[in-house]
Structure 1
C-alpha cells in the first residue's frame, strides 16, 4: 500500500478478497437507495391513489431518513451477538417486506409502516457496511472495495429519478415498487449465496458509541462530516432552481446537466479507491475544497455561460462521489476495533446533515435566493476542508487513550 497514513489494524483479516460478496453488498446498496428515493419521483400518483396530499406522501421519504438515523446508532448493540451474515440477510428481508407494504398500501398508515421498515434496513445496513468490507477483503483493498460498494448510490439515484417517473407513468407506481421488490429478492438470493459467516468478535453495548466518540479526533471528524454533507445537500436541494433561474436552462439542457452530474458522481466514486490508496488525508481535504470553491464560483460567475455552469455542476458531482467512500475508509482507519459503532455514528451524522442541509438551504434561499445558497454551501465546505487539514486524525488511537492523547494531525 502506498499511503503513509495507515497500518494494518483490522480486527479481522482476509487472505483473499471475497469480491463476489462485495458485489452482493453493492447490489444491496443499489436496492436500498433506489427504494429510499422512489417516492420522490412518484409523489403525485401516490398521493392521488391514496387520497392524500403530496406533502403527506413526501413524509414517506422523511420517515425513512429519521428511522435510518436511529437504526444506524442502535444496530450494533441490538445485534451484538448475531452472525453478521444473518443480520445483513435480515435487512434484505426487511427491504422486501417494506417494498411489498408500500406496493399494496391502502392508505397513508400502511405506506409509512413500509417506509419505517425500510429505514431500519437502510440505517442498519450502512452502519455495518464498512466493517463488513473490512472482513471480506485484504486491508490494502478496502478503499477499492468501498468505492465499488458506493457505486450503487449514483446508479440507484439516477434509476429512482429517471426510471421511477417513466415507469410510474407506464405501468403505475405500485408496479414500480413491485419491480423494486423483485430486485430486492434477487439481492437477498445473491447475498445468501456469497456472504460468508461473520460471527461478532465481542459484545458492543450501546455505551460503546460514547467511548468511540471520546477518542481523540473523533468529534472533530464527525463535525467535519456534518459540514461536508450539510454543504452538499444545501446546494443539491436547490440545484434545479439554480439551473432554471440562473443558468436559464430549458428542460433538455437541465436533464442533460443532471445526467452529467450523476455520471460524474459515478466516475468520482470509482476514482475514490485509487485516490485513497495514495492518501486518505489528501482525499478528505481535496474533495470539500473543490466543492467549496465551486460553490463560490457558481455564486459569483453563475449564469455567465450555460456550458460553464454545467461543467461546474458535473465537477461537483465528481468530487462528491469520493466523499462517502473517503469517510467510510476513514472510520475503518481510526477505529478499526470498533468499525461497526463508528459506522453507526457516520450514518447518523449523514442523515442529520441531510436534514440540516435542506433546512439551511431553505432559510438562505428565502432570504437571499439561490446564489446565496451556493455561497453558503461553499463556505460550509471550505470550513470542512480547513477542519480536516487542522484537526482530523487519520491514524487509530487504541481504546483507553482517549483521555490522555491530544487530538492532532498525524
Structure 2
C-alpha cells in the first residue's frame, strides 16, 4: 500500500537534473538550516535565557510560541500579498529579515525586545517554508522532486545535528547572546548562497484566497492538516521543554551530546526515508508517529534513567528526522493542483501546532510540572494516529475529492 506522490514541477520533461539545479537546491537547504537553527536555538538555551531575562521557563517558552503565531499568519498572507513577484526575490527578502531578527535577539535587553526579534523570525519563517516546499519540484527535473524536497529538509536535521548543539556549546563558554550572533553570521552565508545560486522563479499566477477555500472543501485535505497538527503538537509541546526535563539528570554538556545524537540519527532517518517514502507513504507516516509516541512515553516511564532517556532521545530523533519529509510529500501529493496554497496551509498548521503546543506546554510546565506536559504530548500523538487511520480509510472508500492521494 502506498500513496501516489506525483507532484507538479516546472521541469517535468524527463531530462537529467543538472549540477546547477542541484546547487540551487543546496542553497535553499542551507537557508533551511539557518532558519531552523534560529527557530529552535532557544530550546537548548531556555534555562539560561530565562535566568538572564528574569522570567520563568514557561514564560521564556514564548520565544518559541511567538514565531509560531507569526509564521502561521504570514505563511498564507505573505504570498497572497506577493502576487506574481519572482519567488527568488521573496526568498532573499525573507532571509534578510531573518538576519535582522537574530541581531535583535543577540542584543535584546529584556523579554519584550527578544519577542520582537522572534516575531520577525516568525514572519520570515512562514513565507520561507511555504516557498521552499512549493519550489522544490521547480528547481529540478520532475522525477527528482521528492529527492529535492528531502535535501531541503535535510537542512532541518543538520540544524539539529550541528546548529542547535553548537549554539548550546557556544553558550557554555561564552553566552547565549553570542549564539544568536553566530546564527546571524550563518544567515549571512545563506543569503549569499541564495543570491548566487537560486535561479529566477517567476510565478505564473498569484496565490488567491479562493485556492485555500478550494482545498479546505476537500475532506481528505482537511483531515490531513488535522493529522499534521496533532503530530507536530505532540512534538513541540514536549520538545520545547526537553532541557528542563533533562537537566534534572544530565549536565549541560551531556544535554548537548544528547541533542547532537538526536540530530545525527534524525539526519540518517531523513536520508533513509527519502528512498522509500514515495512508495510506502502511509506506512512511513504511521511508523514515525508510533516512534514519536514511544519516545514521549519512554521519557515518562524511564525518567531518571540515563540509559532509558538516552534511548528515548534517539528514538525521538528517528521519528522527527523523518516526519517533516513524510508530511511534506503527503501534502505535495494531495494538493498537486494548488502547490503554493497547499504548502502555505501545511506551514500554517505546523506553526499553529508549534505556537499552541509550546504555549500550552509552558503553562503546564509552570503549574503542573514537565512530566504532566509529556502526558499531553502522548495524548496528541495518539490522536495523530487515530486521524491517520481516518484519512486513509477515507481515501480507500473513494470519498476524497479530486487530486487526493490514491491508495493501492
Q: Structure 2 unaligned segments of length 5 or more: list them.
A: none
CA drift of 1:288 comes to 0.5
Query: 1:204 is matched with which residue: 207, 227, 240?
Result: 207
Task: Return the alpha-carbon distance in structure 1 between the equivalents of residues 181 and 228 of structure 2.
Answer: 35
1:167 aligns to 2:170 (yes or no): yes
CA drift of 1:173 comes to 5.1
SS at match of 1:277: coil
> Residue 143 of structure 1 contacts residue 272 of structure 1 at CA under 8 Å; is this kept in 2?
no
Task: Return the alpha-carbon distance in structure 2 between the equivalents of residues 242 and 104 of structure 1.
Answer: 28
Residue aligning to 2:286: 285
> Residue 102 of structure 1 contacts residue 110 of structure 1 at CA under 8 Å; is this kept in 2?
yes
Residue aligning to 1:13: 11
- The C-alpha deviation readout for 1:233-282, integer Å capped at 9, x for no partner, is 2332343455465xx55666544433322222222222221121331121
CA drift of 1:392 comes to 4.3
Residue aligning to 2:329: 329
Task: Return the alpha-carbon distance in structure 2 between the equivalents of residues 356 and 365 of structure 1.
Answer: 14
Task: Return the alpha-carbon distance in structure 2 between the equivalents of residues 221 and 326 of structure 1.
Answer: 12
Query: 2:87 is matched with which residue: 84, 89, 114?
Result: 84
SS at match of 1:336: coil
1:31 to 1:297, Cα distance in 2 relative to 1, 3 A: closer
SS at match of 1:6: coil
Larger CA deviation: 374-383 vs 99-108: 99-108
Task: Return the alpha-carbon distance in structure 1 between the equivalents of residues 243 and 116 of structure 2.
Answer: 31
CA drift of 1:375 comes to 4.4
Task: Return the alpha-carbon distance in structure 2 between the equivalents of residues 296 and 43 of structure 1.
Answer: 23
Residue aligning to 2:267: 266
Let me know the Cα RMSD of the aligned residues: 3.5
Task: Return the alpha-carbon distance in structure 1 between the equivalents of residues 187 and 241 of structure 2.
Answer: 31
CA drift of 1:378 comes to 2.9
1:31 aligns to 2:31 (yes or no): no
Residue aligning to 2:258: 257
Task: Return the alpha-carbon distance in structure 1 between the equivalents of residues 371 and 188 of structure 2.
Answer: 44
Task: Return the alpha-carbon distance in structure 2 between the equivalents of residues 240 and 96 of structure 1.
Answer: 26
Larger CA deviation: 229-238 vs 325-334: 229-238
Pairing 1:279-358 to 2, within 5 Å after superposition: 279-300=280-301, 302-303=302-303, 306-358=306-358
Give the TM-score, by structure 1 length: 0.83
Equivalent pairs counted in the alignment come to 398
Q: Structure 1 unaligned segments of length 5 or more: list them.
A: 396-400
SS at match of 1:203: coil
Pairing 1:166-185 to 2, within 5 Å after superposition: 166-168=169-171, 170=173, 175-185=178-188
- The C-alpha deviation readout for 1:53-85, integer Å capped at 9, x for no partner, is 346776444432221111112122111211111
Task: Return the alpha-carbon distance in structure 2 between the equivalents of residues 306 and 297 of structure 1.
Answer: 12
CA drift of 1:203 comes to 2.2
Residue aligning to 2:157: 154
1:402 to 1:205, Cα distance in 2 relative to 1, 3 A: farther
> Residue 150 of structure 2 contacts residue 325 of structure 2 at CA under 8 Å; is this kept in 1?
yes
Residue aligning to 1:275: 276
SS at match of 1:229: helix
Residue aligning to 2:220: 217
SS at match of 1:152: helix
Residue aligning to 1:65: 68
> Residue 147 of structure 1 contacts residue 325 of structure 1 at CA under 8 Å; is this kept in 2?
yes
Pairing 1:215-254 to 2, within 5 Å after superposition: 215-240=218-243, 242-243=245-246, 248-249=249-250, 253-254=254-255
Larger CA deviation: 39-48 vs 291-300: 39-48
1:16 to 1:131, Cα distance in 2 relative to 1, 3 A: farther
Task: Return the alpha-carbon distance in structure 1 between the equivalents of residues 101 and 325 of structure 2.
Answer: 27
Query: 1:193 is matched with which residue: 192, 196, 201?
Result: 196
Task: Return the alpha-carbon distance in structure 2 between the equivalents of residues 375 and 60 of structure 1.
Answer: 22
Task: Return the alpha-carbon distance in structure 2 between the equivalents of residues 141 and 185 of structure 1.
Answer: 28
Larger CA deviation: 200-209 vs 155-164: 155-164
Larger CA deviation: 140-149 vs 127-136: 140-149
Larger CA deviation: 358-367 vs 142-151: 358-367
